Structure 1
């Protein structure tokens, strides 16, 4: 029987080490923290996002997300505009500078992930792992006591 506590420990330590190595390389080569990269990547796949959407996706509070967006905006990598469908929120979009740095940084992230993950597991195992992690993440986003999506 699998020791779930050990599995959890391995997942957390792997995530921590991957995060640290990716963050260090992105900062060194692109002056871009991994957290900002992740925000920018999410925004780019949707053209725009509300702060609430970013907070939900990153599983952090709206306050922390708003501060992160402030830092991105101060760096000239994104901008906020009025949400035409909801006056209480704004839409975050990437600037041309944000798009440029994201395009430059993406291959760096892919190269590191290839080194640390892709070169270790065969393609079939990677596909299975991706499927399993997606299932676990989806389940983690639902409160098992209520079967409702958790809000942050």
Structure 2
């Protein structure tokens, strides 16, 4: 339990630190920046499904997130050329600008914070731990009782 508590505390502190850094640079918060990074990574064929998968949120939450990105002028939906039920999501020029600004601020803050750490090893460990839970059944409170 100590590992879990320490990991959650660190994740929360790191999130807050990076969120402050990107906002100070004039970019939207880390949640929005994370969404923009996913849209950019899957361009030009990103869909709500990629946001759902990458951010590990529900389809409804991902759809609302895209609605918000559109309202803020950071992304736009285009009709999917072969699937009428789906849309493709693209960054606008404003979205690309804040993505660049926010990503640089995030990279600078991480570099300052993690200077001297072996990030390859840590990243590999975290990815391996994450993969071990991907697809694992969700344990509910009822199952524990």
TM score, norm. by length of structure 1: 0.83
Q: Please, what is the CA RMSD of the aligned residues?
A: 1.6
What's 2:41 paired with?
Answer: 45
Q: Mind listing any 5+ residue stretches in structure 2 that lack a counterpart?
A: 139-145
Alignment of 1:134-149 (within 5 A): 134-143=127-136
The answer on whether the counterparts of 2:33 and 2:99 sit within 8 Å (CA) in structure 1 is yes
Structure 1 unpaired stretches of 5+: 146-152
1:130 and 2:126 are equivalent in the alignment: no
2:25 is paired with a residue whose SS is helix
Runs of 4 or more consecutive aligned structure 1 residues displaced over 6 Å after TM superposition: none
The equivalent residue for 2:89 is 92
Deviations along 1:46-81, one digit per CA (max 9) or x if unpaired, are 214111111111011111111111111111110011
| Residue correspondence of structure 1 range 59-78 to structure 2 within 5 A | 59-78=56-75
Task: Give the distance between the partners of 1:32 and 1:134, measured in 2 at CA.
Answer: 26
Distance between the aligned counterparts of 1:45 and 1:56, measured in 2?
Answer: 13
